[in-house]
Chain A
């Protein structure tokens, strides 16, 4: 009963380094999302994937890339990390057509120094 699994849970990067945040869901959901959460700003959508093979920009896509590797996995890549990308990142998934809303992972706390 894993749901949405994110790795790693914590990461410290130096400015300019790159890394990939991994997300996998075992609920056979079509849609997957990456959000960032910053104090006083709620959750803001970075990228989403409505179905396997498709990705679209959200509200704050700059500095990020994504890959929908298959139906289960949706990764978020920071090519050249900046201090402004210090945040908590959440992956979420939801079924395609129903009214059921998103299920979230436990988050990755990223610090860029």
Chain B
């Protein structure tokens, strides 16, 4: 039972293009939506996150768009660079205090061509 569905599985973008990764969820108890970036041989690292009372959050070239009514959120990478080539995971959080847990999407392998 996949509570967070992520697409596409893989994405190839030209340098300077826009990369878009989409996620959808069903559980309305999710209260925080982070995105993680993972390079080969490394652990995931927090990239950007959004709360459900905000429709958009931008940090540099990375933007999260959040649609609460549709239960969907997406990551946009503007002016994509070869150094952005990595696997990206969306996630959603439930629970309270120290018992909070993250549920991850299946991941998107992004390749940015030079």
Contact = CB atoms under 8 A, between A and B. Distances in A.
Contact of A4 (B43, B93, B97, B99): B43
Please indicate which of the listed interface residues B32, B93, B101 has the most CB atoms of chain A within 10 Å of its own CB. Answer: B101
B43 A51 contact: no
A94 B105 CA distance: 19
A44 B101 CA distance: 11
Interface in A38-54: 40-45, 48, 50-51
A96 B97 contact: yes
Interface size band for A: 20 to 34
Given A104-B45, A107-B43, A48 B101 contact: yes
Contact of A43 (B9, B34, B100, B104): B104
Contacts of A99: 32, 49
A58 interface: yes
Interface string A80-113: 0000000000101010110101111111000000
Interface residues of B, number: 27
B107 A42 contact: yes
Interface of A: 4, 30-31, 33, 35, 40-45, 48, 50-51, 56, 58-59, 90, 92, 94, 96-97, 99, 101-107
A104 B43 contact: yes
A31 B93 CA distance: 14
Nearest to B107: A42
B97 A102 contact: no
Interface of B: 4, 6, 9, 32, 34, 36, 41-46, 49, 89, 91, 93, 97-107
B97 A45 contact: no
A101 B97 contact: no
A111 to B, nearest CB: 15
Nearest to B97: A97
A40 B106 contact: yes
B98 A42 contact: no
A42 B97 contact: no
